[in-house]
Amino acid sequence: MSEFQLLQWFKALHLAFMVAWFAGIFYLPRLFVYHAESKEPLVHAQLQIMERRLLFFITPFAILTIVFGTGMLWIYGLGWLKQMHWMHIKLLLITFLVAYHIYCFHLVKKIKRSAHFRSGRWFRIFNEIPVLALFAIIILAVLKPAIGT
């Protein structure tokens, strides 16, 4: 397999796992909203199960997104990375998204102890963070703006 073919496979897998990761990372905070706004103990119990399972289900997608993205960076090389300032911003946003994902583990534990420690409105706003990050990442990856040159 040529380096170009390998790059294309990494890119395809990176995008597929990224879509799966984001599907979950968009839905999980919506479950938090339902949890915060419900007063029914049975609903809380069901949502706790759904939240935990979803988070553990999407975590491998996040890891594989990073693995194949790192593989692409490896193929492009350090020289390319040093020159592509837009990629530095993208990597910063990805680091932020990984922190967001890890923070969701904290939220799942905290919601289990107290379903109403944050409002539904707070979780709605929290839910918009990955949407904004995704828009910025896609714009950077597609337009590859000349930043800092």
107-119 pLDDT, tens digit each: 999 998 886 789 9
* pLDDT reported for residue 128: 95
User: Has residue 109 been placed in a domain?
Assistant: yes
Distances (CA, A) of 65 to 17, 68, 83, 97: 5, 6, 23, 12
Assess if residue 149 is contained within a domain: no
Look up residue 27 and give its two tokens: 């839905």
Q: Annotate 42-73 with b (16+ C-beta within 10 A) or e (fewer).
A: eebeebbeebeebbeebbebbebbbebbebbb
* The pTM of the whole model exceeds 0.95: no
Average pLDDT, rounded, for the chain: 94
- What is the count of structural domains for the chain? 1
17 falls within a domain: yes
Domain that holds residue 42: 3-143
**19 occurs within a structural domain:** yes
Is 148 a domain residue? no
Is 97 part of any domain? yes
